[in-house]
């Protein structure tokens, strides 16, 4: 692998960006491929990006095949376009490198913190949502977990573990967690309304909304849900659209231009997952009145959202009776291990990738839904503890 990497040296040096070089150095340091002295030497003793890139690849090549594999693996994650351009002539080698990296991958049981330098490097990048020391200290999240239902056959054994683990992850990421358990649909809706008026929203850089319950396509079930309600009885179902409605630009202006991250662990049907289809989204904006004043800024009311749903439409989700749901388990593993270097959308993609593991027995595939993020959002774990 070191020999193959050497063949890519010239193109790597000429095309890699300063940001990617710095990110690769951080990754290689965390993998213990290089030490802190080598990293600082490359950064401080070489002025141009090309010189930094040249010294980085030369240092790694000298360390052999395993180190070279790690560089290729990190380049693939940091800059997939450059990786594909560099490695299209050595597909077999890259495949081997990817396989080895998968074998070597171990998921962290605790949240890895971002480096302050990583945060500072991204402060003036207009393609990244801004995060300041103040905004990171005003983060807030909503966590709703339905465990005990009126129909005891619907009780969700293992959901306590999901609640505990997700609360810890959100807290470690710097979010104040507003937590509810065992709510009806009306109570969930009320909780969303109250959350949309939280005092911290003006100063925060983002919010999480995590809801765990039973569900059907387009709705989350309340704890009093009945399969066959009495005539005239309102079904105990929360439309997922209500989440977007309460937090959108019209009803929650404090969150305009701020990422709103939604995670829902709930079935979306009863099928086993053999067919993937797409939800339809009604365009309500066409119903709004025209705005005549030029001075009024018009903004799409459902902007800066991203959701991760536990399964594709019409299919079931799975939960272990002791360890909790697979979605929450994989989400926490991925965020603990990668949130310090990857943006939220990439983290969700990695969670989805966990379900492709051949050892996983269920035909469940999480779905990114209604993503209207216009920039990348990095969580920078540990930032709220920096000076």
Nearest C-alpha neighbor of 145 from the set 169, 161, 123, 126: 161
pLDDT of residue 374: 94
Helices (H), ranges, 233-383? 241-247, 326-338, 344-354
Give residue 296's pLDDT: 41
What are the structural domains of the chain? 2-105 (1.10.533.10), 118-272+297-385 (3.40.50.1460)
Phi, then psi, of 219 in degrees rounded to 5: -140, 155
Catalytic entry in 83, 214, 246, 340? 214
Tell me if residue 74 is catalytic: no
Mean pLDDT by 10 residues, the chain (387 residues): 76 89 90 90 91 92 86 82 69 42 64 92 93 96 95 88 95 97 97 98 98 90 89 91 96 96 78 33 37 42 86 56 78 94 94 71 72 96 77
In the residue annotation, 46 being an active-site residue is answered as: no
Q: How many whole angstroms separate alpha carbon 72 and alpha carbon 386?
A: 31
**Residue 265: closest CA among 96, 145, 127, 385:** 145
**Each residue's pLDDT tens digit, 322-344:** 667 888 888 999 999 999 999 99
Q: In Å, what is the CA distance from 161 to each residue of 247, 263, 279? A: 27, 16, 30
For residue 192, which of 260, 257, 259 has the smallest C-alpha distance? 260
């Amino acid at each position: 692998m070191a020999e193959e990497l050497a063949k890519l040296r010239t193109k790597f040096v000429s095309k890699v960006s300063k940001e990617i070089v710095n990110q690769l150095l951080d990754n290689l340091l965390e993998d213990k491929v290089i030490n802190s002295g080598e990293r600082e030497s490359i950064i401080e003793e070489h002025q141009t990006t090309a010189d930094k890139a040249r010294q980085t690849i030369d240092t790694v090549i000298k360390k052999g095949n395993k180190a070279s594999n790690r560089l290729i693996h990190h380049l693939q994650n940091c800059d997939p376009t450059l990786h594909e351009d560099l490695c299209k002539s050595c597909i077999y080698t890259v495949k081997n490198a990817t396989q080895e990296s998968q074998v070597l991958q171990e998921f962290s049981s605790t949240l890895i913190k971002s480096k302050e330098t990583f945060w500072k490097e991204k402060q003036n990048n207009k393609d990244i949502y801004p995060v300041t020391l103040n905004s990171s200290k005003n983060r807030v999240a909503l966590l709703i977990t339905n465990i005990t239902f009126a129909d005891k056959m619907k009780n969700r054994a293992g959901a306590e573990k999901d609640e505990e683990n997700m609360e810890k992850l959100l807290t470690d990421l710097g979010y104040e967690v507003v937590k509810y358990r065992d709510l009806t649909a009306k109570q969930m809706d009320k909780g969303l309304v109250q959350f949309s008026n939280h005092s911290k929203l003006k100063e925060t850089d983002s919010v999480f909304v995590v809801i765990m319950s039973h569900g059907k396509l387009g709705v989350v079930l309340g704890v009093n849900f009945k399969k066959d309600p009495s005539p005239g009885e309102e079904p105990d179902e929360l439309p997922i659209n209500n989440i977007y409605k309460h937090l959108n630009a019209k009803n929650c202006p404090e969150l305009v231009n701020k990422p709103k991250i939604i995670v829902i662990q709930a079935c979306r049907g009863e099928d086993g997952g053999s067919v993937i289809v797409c939800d339809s989204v009604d365009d309500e904006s066409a119903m709004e009145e025209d705005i005549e004043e030029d001075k009024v800024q018009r903004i799409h009311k459902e902007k800066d959202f991203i959701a991760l749903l536990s399964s594709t439409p019409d299919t079931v989700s799975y939960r272990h009776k002791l360890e909790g749901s697979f979605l929450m388990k994989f989400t926490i593993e991925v965020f603990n291990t990668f949130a310090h270097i990857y943006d939220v959308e990439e983290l969700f993609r990695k969670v989805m990738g966990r379900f492709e593991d051949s050892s996983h027995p269920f035909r469940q595939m999480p779905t990114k839904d209604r993503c209207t993020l216009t920039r990348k959002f990095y969580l920078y774990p540990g930032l709220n503890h920096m000076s």
